[in-house]
Amino acid sequence: MVPWLFFLLPIPTLAGVEKTYGVSPSLLSRYVPTGSGSSATWTCLDGSNTINWSSVNDDYCDCLDGSDEPGTGACPNTVFYCRNEGHVGAHIPSTRVGDGLCEPECCDGSDERPGVCSNKCKEVGEAYRQIQDAEWKIRKKGSKIRSSYISYAQKEKKRLEGRISTAEQEILLREKEVARLKDIADRAESLSAAALEHRRNSPLYAALIEHSRALKSLRREHKKHLEREAILGDILDALRTGYNPNYQDMAVLEAVRGWEYQAGLPHINDIAKEDESSQTDTSNIASEPEEVLEEGMWSADRLDRELDSLLDSDYESLLLEHDKHIGAPAEGGESVLFNLTAYIPDAFLPRYEALRNSIISWLETLGVVRGSVPIEEAETSRARQAFQDAERSLTAAVQDKQQTVEELGRLFDPEWFGPEGEWKKLQGTCLEKDTGDYTYEVCLFEEAKQKPNKGGASHTLGRFSSWNNVAGVVSGSLEYYSKQHYTRGTKCWNGPHRSVTLVMSCGTENAVLTVTEPEKCEYQFTVTSPALCLPVEVLEETREEL
């Protein structure tokens, strides 16, 4: 036989091919003949035909699905399995079997005739395992960092829930305060200037104002005394630490002893002895007895906290509230006894009021009487302003609560921060990559930018819009979080709006590795993050297979 004809012969002609040659391990159990010997048969995997067992891998296609030729290229659209012992098994198209080319996926050379391709699986497998071990170490370290991100999310959940609860209580209080201030403002605007001035001249209001002035004066003098006390304390501390007890100056000694007692300090000589013996004895330290307060009296701590707000009270508002409390009429301070509208039947009341208003208007025009002057703006603005401020404060509190509720809802939303909240920690984290002419920055879940290094305007490359939401990708899966999209950036001249796709993978650091521009104004950042490093236990089964 001519030597070169050797390579033209089909594989089965050269040697008996195993019937399971090229079969994937998952299908081995289905390549079992029915019967034995020359009468043994086998049914195609799709059930389209039953053939002799000897016809399997005979380089002739008998089954419609090509399952009878797993180890030859006789049937189109089939795959060949390389066992690659010492490495990882792989599949290649059956059309590449026996074509004289050594496929890199088949490091054992099983896709070609014996002797054509050498078996390199040992070397390839060792190199592959080294890479896998390195990646495994990265994943293991990254998964610990990811766990800290999840712990942060749990703490953030408690914080947001507490914030919502506090906001709800605050909103209730502010709603009551708005209602109270609205009532005060309405009544203040309904009073005449004379009526308000009359109330200001009441002994109660005058006493309140006088007490307020007295308290403010006491506060001023108290602060002066505190400043003097601090200065005297510094002087006595200097005397206490600097005097020489060997001089036996009894006046100085008595002054030092008195200061130590009043300030609750140990004697300076005792401290020196304690330093020498390295022992602490505080039994001789004078302690100030706790003051017993009368009922209703304020403690020193409460004075520090609440005195200023008490002195800033709106006494006019309190005066109006006092009127409401004791049932004083809203208009002019007149008794109901002299209020004619209380005696007129309801049917005649509109005509009476119209007549009264006409007469009053006519008398005002003639100058006989002076009409009731509305409260001056300076006098009413404080009540109305307080009401409006309270309304704005209530609106802000409601909006803040709504934002917090929305933030809590996104915390464990797969389309935002992941089912375990593992991405929440990275919200607003900014990553940069200097490429020479430009520095590219992405603040996760916010915005991506292109900043020139040699002057010029920065461009926004887009704001966060979604994860990898292409068809077929399951929300919350590892593949789903492998990409982030930032869209609607600054429009390119004669081009589209700028956009960025982050291609993300597991890493021990949050970092941008590379920046490319595959299409005009469409950028791609490769990014690593510990948030993508799943726990080692999740991938243990995969590693065992390798």
Residue 285 has pLDDT above 60, yes or no: no
CB atoms within 10 A of CB 532: 20
For 11, the token pair is 């594989």
- Residue 150: its pLDDT value, please? 92
Residue 196 has pLDDT above 70, yes or no: no
Q: Do 174 and 415 contact (CB within 8 A), yes or no?
A: no
- Residue 510: its pLDDT value, please? 94
- Residue 364: its pLDDT value, please? 65
- Residue 99: its pLDDT value, please? 83
For 124, the token pair is 């390839």
Q: What burial class does residue 108 get, using C-beta atoms within 10 Å of its C-beta: 0-12 exposed, 13-18 middle, 19+ buried?
A: buried
Residue 244 has pLDDT above 80, yes or no: no
Q: Where in the chain is the domain with CATH 2.70.130.10?
A: 428-545
Q: What burial class does residue 381 get, using C-beta atoms within 10 Å of its C-beta: 0-12 exposed, 13-18 middle, 19+ buried?
A: middle
Tell me the sheet residues that pair with 441.
432, 449
- Residue 14: its pLDDT value, please? 37
Residue 193 has pLDDT above 70, yes or no: no
Please state, in angstroms and rounded to a whole number, the distance separating the CA atoms of residues 100 and 102: 7
Residue 326 has pLDDT above 90, yes or no: no
Using a pLDDT cut of 70, give the percent of the chain over it: 73
Rounded to the nearest integer, the mean pLDDT of the chain is: 79
* Strand pairing class (90-93; 430-434): unpaired
Lowest mean pLDDT among 60-74, 94-108, 267-281: 267-281
Q: Is 2.70.130.10 the CATH number for 428-545?
A: yes
More confident residue, 53 or 6: 53
Lowest mean pLDDT among 32-46, 306-320, 408-422, 458-472: 306-320
Q: 382-414 b/e with 16+ CB inside 10 Å = b?
A: bbbebbeebeeebeebeeebeebeebbebbbee
Residue 440 has pLDDT above 90, yes or no: yes
- Residue 489: its pLDDT value, please? 92
What are the pLDDT digits (tens) for 510-540?
Answer: 999 999 999 999 999 999 999 999 887 655 5
Residue 233 has pLDDT above 90, yes or no: no
Residue 43 has pLDDT above 70, yes or no: yes
Place of tokens 């712990």: 151
* Longest pairwise C-alpha distance within the chain: 143
Q: Do 57 and 63 contact (CB within 8 A), yes or no?
A: no
Taking residues 136-147, report their average pLDDT: 89
Place of tokens 């109006």: 320
Please state, in angstroms and rounded to a whole number, the distance separating the CA atoms of residues 28 and 41: 16
Whether the CA torsion 66, 68, 74, 78 is positive or negative: it is: positive
Taking residues 288-306, report their average pLDDT: 68
| Residue 529 identity (one-letter amino acid) | S
Please state, in angstroms and rounded to a whole number, the distance separating the CA atoms of residues 142 and 522: 30
Highest mean pLDDT among 120-134, 184-198, 429-443: 429-443
CB atoms within 10 A of CB 16: 9
User: Residue 81 gets which letter from DSSP?
Assistant: E
What are the pLDDT digits (tens) for 375-397?
Answer: 444 456 677 788 888 888 899 99
Taking residues 101-115, report their average pLDDT: 87
For 130, the token pair is 């080294």
- Residue 94: its pLDDT value, please? 86
Q: What burial class does residue 304 get, using C-beta atoms within 10 Å of its C-beta: 0-12 exposed, 13-18 middle, 19+ buried?
A: exposed
Residue 341 has pLDDT above 80, yes or no: no
Please state, in angstroms and rounded to a whole number, the distance separating the CA atoms of residues 225 and 219: 10
Taking residues 248-274, report their average pLDDT: 68
- Residue 158: its pLDDT value, please? 93
